[in-house]
């Protein structure tokens, strides 16, 4: 089948990570002839979601392939449950259970075999990220009409760690006024300060912040007379910072948070159903709809600049037995031959990550929660830790379980960096240990990811290198970089204009060249 | 808001060239496109049909050509209510690939998805797959079976109508969540979140 692969394209994209996929969609959308390849048999690269079986394959691949250890290392998987469920438990057909059974039955005793049995119900992300409701990715998904390929859920609560406990952070104006944790005087101070932050504008620095360039955000909050608890909420939970966070950075983070409130739910965040790994695929789908050619399982061997007989300068890619030519090559940094990269950028901090599967939420609630917890550093020199907890309603795991992600900048190694935080919120001992308050950790995975998020350039013109995932909470940098690369390839063209709805597609009598679109007409009018 | 009671997502898979797009176009537009080319620009098509006096909207998704090199995104299979697996009765290799397709379906589609095996191109005189072979295969794998001709409009209407009827029945007895008309919460408007998934509300 591979032999059918055409060999001449305007744009070839190698790797199906977030940045690569957005560029592929944008180029195809405005009519470029695009080929999109990935060396593996699935989409997403380091941005992928895996079911439990796929994740096991990923783990053994990383452990056996030194090439992958350049990207992912210090990988440690651990089980906290038995291989098989004890015989005394009568196994029930999980699939056919009705929902009403749930409450009557005692909690299920999970075994490794039960995970294997239900492997398809897991969707575990290598790069879990949230979307700010008014952030650039949400705006792009709406304006391009790519939102129709995905479903989202609202993050239901933001938590913080305060005085050795998990506490909810009041997010919305209503929350702030309703909460009893904050006095009336504090509320007025807080609202005044938040109003100042919303008024912050980078370009025309207003008086409020002009003297705060070289000071910390904490100093600013203290200066504003906020009480220690309020400082904690704003600095750690809303800005996601540490004591050292520069003031203007904190202001920017807070503003982003505040501006995204009130659009979809009670918090400023959305989470993609079935995981973040769905999102690159949505862009790939759009690329394909507009004629992009897709080929997974297609490694590339060599990349070089070449001049063809007719004098056209191309990038030539050797792949299997073929040479593929293109005007522009867009390539993920992990797929790019090292000799093509410009000298490595300055050393940056790698990322420490962990995934836990637990038998309950870190903080019980009436309805299934979807939680963002921003852990303040437990020790002075630590980094802040981002924790995301997703449940069965997001399509991440079977009923009765939760998947919890931890992300931080690397200090020592993933396990040493994150274990102290895990122990605060989970029961981490093997088998025994009955802490009624905390959910039990059933399975854990720690790993470090080489930080490839800094923009990197290539020594060849017309080869555009896409960064890997960063440690940030959102996708903003990926969207920004994709747009920059697109503008280089297609100067003056619109970035992902709205794709038509099916009702707007008008077919010609003879359709060999594909349909025309009537874009603007009757935009939102009902069709029938 | 449009006037329909149920919305179902139907997805088509199968090798390139078996006539997936032709089946969709025949059903939704009543025509048989003469073009030979791969599918460009077609995302999904919509047709509202009536079952027992109730309006049912079928959203029929095509592969966008990603099947050509076996590179369909997992997300394509997500939240499909029915899945039509198509082969060409005059082309043995398209039938031989069915187990590969089933493996992919097992992996990514909901296990409750309604599955239909379709042998297309009954208008062709050079049949290679006898009807009973297709029927056997379908029975062994718990699928409905139908032979169609998109060109002659044979069984195409029936295929989609039976899907609509079956899904309706399932929806009624299992109280499947009804569609509320908004495609996910991301539509630029402010939304409140219900308990169920964002685009399906019980």
At A366-423, the pLDDT tens digits run 999 999 999 999 998 889 999 999 999 999 999 999 999 999 999 999 999 999 999 9
Q: Tell me what the pLDDT averaged over chain B comes to.
A: 84
Report chain A residues whose CB lies below 8 A from the CB of B35.
510-513
**What residue of A is the nearest CA neighbor of B188?**
A142
Give the model's confidence band at B187: pLDDT under 50 very low, under 70 low, under 90 confident, else very high: low
The residue among A3 and A450 whose pLDDT is bigger is A450
ipTM over 0.85: yes
Contact between B80 and B10 under an 8 Å Cβ cutoff? The reply is yes
At A259-280, the pLDDT tens digits run 999 889 889 999 999 999 999 9
At B57-114, the pLDDT tens digits run 999 999 999 999 999 999 999 989 999 999 999 999 999 999 999 999 998 998 889 9
Q: What is the mean pLDDT of residues A230-239?
A: 94
What pLDDT shows up at residue A202?
74
Taking CB atoms and an 8 Å limit, are B68 and A293 in contact across chains? yes
All domains of chain A in start order, with CATH: 2-51+275-343+455-489 (3.50.50.60), 72-121+349-450 (3.30.519.10), 151-271 (1.10.405.10)
Q: With an 8 Å Cβ cutoff, is B201 touching chain A?
A: no
A147 has a pLDDT exceeding 90: yes
What pLDDT shows up at residue A347?
63
Q: What is the mean pLDDT of residues A192-206?
A: 81
Q: What is the mean pLDDT of residues A39-53?
A: 96
Give the model's confidence band at B119: pLDDT under 50 very low, under 70 low, under 90 confident, else very high: very high
Q: Tell me what the pLDDT averaged over chain A comes to.
A: 88
Report chain A residues whose CB lies below 8 A from the CB of B182.
none
- When mean pLDDT is compared across A35-44, A153-162, A343-352, A367-376, the lowest value belongs to A343-352
What pLDDT shows up at residue A205?
63
Taking CB atoms and an 8 Å limit, are A393 and B197 in contact across chains? yes
CATH architecture of B6-201: 3-Layer(aba) Sandwich (3.40)
Q: With an 8 Å Cβ cutoff, is B132 touching chain A?
A: no
**Tokens 């159903």 found at:** A273
What pLDDT shows up at residue A109?
87
Q: Which candidate from A42, A503, A513 shows the least CB-CB separation from B46?
A: A503
A510 has a pLDDT exceeding 70: no
**What residue of A is the nearest CA neighbor of B105?**
A120
Burial of A324 (0-12, 13-18, 19+ CB in 10 A): buried
Chain B, window 60-119: residues with a beta carbon less than 8 angstroms from a chain A beta carbon? 64-66, 68-71, 73-76, 78-79, 106-107, 111
At a CB cut-off of 8 Å and minimum separation 6, what does A121 contact? A51, A392, A397, A398
Taking CB atoms and an 8 Å limit, are B187 and A147 in contact across chains? yes
Would you list the domain boundaries of chain B? 6-201
Give the model's confidence band at A79: pLDDT under 50 very low, under 70 low, under 90 confident, else very high: very high
What pLDDT shows up at residue A3?
67
What pLDDT shows up at residue B156?
97
Report chain A residues whose CB lies below 8 A from the CB of B20.
none
Shortest distance, CA A178 to any CA of chain B (angstroms): 19
Taking CB atoms and an 8 Å limit, are B34 and A511 in contact across chains? yes
Give the model's confidence band at B41: pLDDT under 50 very low, under 70 low, under 90 confident, else very high: low
3-state secondary structure chain B: CCCCCEEEEEEEECCCCCCHHHHHHHHHHCCCCCCCCCCCCCCEEEEEEEECCEEEEEEEECCCCCCCCCCCCHHHCCCCCEEEEEEECCCHHHHHCHHHHHHHHHHHCCCCCEEEEEEECCCCCCCCCCHHHHHHHHHHCCCEEEECECCCCECHHHHHHHHHHHHHHHHHHHCCCEECCCCCCCCCCCCCCCCCCCCEEC
A527 has a pLDDT exceeding 50: no
Q: Which of A355-364, B41-50, B102-111 has the highest mean pLDDT?
A: A355-364
Q: Which candidate from B3, B73, B192 shows the least CB-CB separation from A43?
A: B73
Q: Which candidate from A274, A499, A511 shows the least CB-CB separation from B35?
A: A511
**What residue of A is the nearest CA neighbor of B33?**
A511
- When mean pLDDT is compared across A286-290, A514-518, B37-41, the lowest value belongs to A514-518
Shortest distance, CA B140 to any CA of chain A (angstroms): 21
Q: What is the mean pLDDT of residues B35-43?
A: 63
Q: With an 8 Å Cβ cutoff, is B17 touching chain A?
A: no
Taking CB atoms and an 8 Å limit, are A42 and B74 in contact across chains? yes
The residue among B130 and A92 whose pLDDT is bigger is B130
């Amino acid at each position: 089948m591979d032999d059918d692969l055409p060999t001449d394209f305007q744009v070839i994209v190698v790797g199906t990570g977030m940045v690569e996929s957005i560029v592929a969609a944008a180029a195809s959308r405005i009519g470029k002839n695009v080929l999109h390849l990935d060396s593996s048999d699935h989409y997403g690269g380091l941005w992928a979601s895996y079911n439990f079986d796929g994740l096991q394959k990923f783990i053994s691949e990383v452990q056996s392939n030194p090439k992958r250890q350049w990207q992912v290392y210090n990988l440690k998987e651990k089980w906290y449950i038995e291989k098989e469920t004890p015989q005394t438990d009568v196994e029930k057909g999980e699939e056919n259970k009705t929902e009403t059974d749930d409450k009557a039955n005692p909690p299920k005793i999970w075994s490794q075999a039960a995970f294997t049995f239900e492997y398809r119900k897991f969707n575990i992300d290598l790069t879990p990220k949230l979307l700010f409701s008014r952030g650039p990715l949400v705006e792009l998904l709406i304006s391009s009409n790519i939102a129709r390929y995905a479903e989202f859920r609202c993050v239901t609560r933001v938590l913080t760690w305060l005085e050795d406990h998990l506490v909810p952070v009041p997010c919305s104006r209503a929350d702030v006024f309703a909460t009893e944790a904050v006095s009336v005087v504090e509320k007025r101070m807080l609202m005044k300060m938040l109003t100042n932050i919303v008024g912050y504008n980078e370009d025309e620095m207003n008086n409020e912040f002009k003297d705060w360039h070289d000071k910390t955000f904490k100093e600013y909050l203290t200066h504003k007379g906020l009480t220690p608890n309020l400082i904690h909420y704003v600095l750690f939970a809303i800005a996601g910072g540490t004591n050292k966070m520069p003031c203007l950075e904190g202001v920017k983070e807070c503003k982003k948070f505040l501006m995204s409130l009130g659009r979809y739910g009670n918090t400023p965040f959305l989470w993609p159903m079935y995981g973040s790994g769905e999102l690159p695929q949505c862009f790939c789908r759009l690329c394909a709809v507009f004629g992009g050619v897709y080929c997974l399982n297609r490694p590339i061997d060599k990349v070089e600049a070449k001049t063809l007989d007719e004098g056209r300068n191309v990038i030539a890619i050797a792949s299997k037995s073929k040479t593929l030519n293109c005007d522009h090559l867009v390539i993920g940094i992990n797929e790019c031959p090292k000799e093509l990269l410009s000298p490595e950028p300055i050393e940056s901090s790698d990322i420490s990550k962990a995934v836990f599967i637990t038998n309950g939420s870190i903080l019980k609630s009436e309805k299934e929660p979807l939680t963002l917890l921003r852990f303040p550093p437990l020790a002075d020199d630590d980094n802040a830790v981002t924790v995301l907890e997703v449940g069965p309603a997001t399509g991440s795991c079977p009923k009765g379980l939760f998947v919890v992600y931890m992300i931080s900048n690397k200090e020592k190694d993933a396990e040493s960096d994150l274990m102290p935080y895990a122990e605060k919120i989970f029961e981490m001992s093997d088998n025994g240990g009955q802490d009624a308050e905390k959910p039990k950790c059933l399975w854990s995975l720690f790993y470090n990811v080489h930080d490839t998020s800094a923009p990197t350039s290539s020594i060849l013109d017309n080869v555009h290198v896409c960064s890997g995932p960063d440690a940030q909470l959102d996708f903003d940098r990926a969207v920004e970089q994709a747009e920059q690369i697109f503008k280089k390839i297609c100067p003056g063209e619109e970035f992902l204009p709205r794709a038509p709805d099916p009702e707007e597609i008008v077919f010609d009598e003879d359709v060999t060249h594909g349909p025309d679109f009537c874009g603007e007409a009757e935009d939102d009018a009902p069709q029938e | 808001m449009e006037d329909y009671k149920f919305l179902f997502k139907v997805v088509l898979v199968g090798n390139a060239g078996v006539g997936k797009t032709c089946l969709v176009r025949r059903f939704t537009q009543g025509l048989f496109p003469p073009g030979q080319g791969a599918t460009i620009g077609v995302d999904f098509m919509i047709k509202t049909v009536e079952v027992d006096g109730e309006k049912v909207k079928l959203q029929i998704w095509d592969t966008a050509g990603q099947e050509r090199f076996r590179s369909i995104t997992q997300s394509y299979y997500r939240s499909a209510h029915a899945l039509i697996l198509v082969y060409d009765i005059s082309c043995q290799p398209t039938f031989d690939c069915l187990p590969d397709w089933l493996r992919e379906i097992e992996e990514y589609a909901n296990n409750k998805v309604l599955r239909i095996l379709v042998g297309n191109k009954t208008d062709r005189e050079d049949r290679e797959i006898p009807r009973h072979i297709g029927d056997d295969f379908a029975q062994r794998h718990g699928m409905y079976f139908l032979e169609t001709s998109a060109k002659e409009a044979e069984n195409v209407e029936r295929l989609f109508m039976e899907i609509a009827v079956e899904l309706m029945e399932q929806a009624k007895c299992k109280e499947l969540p009804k569609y509320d008309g908004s495609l996910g919460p991301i539509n630029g408007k402010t939304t409140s979140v219900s308990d169920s998934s964002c685009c399906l509300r019980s």
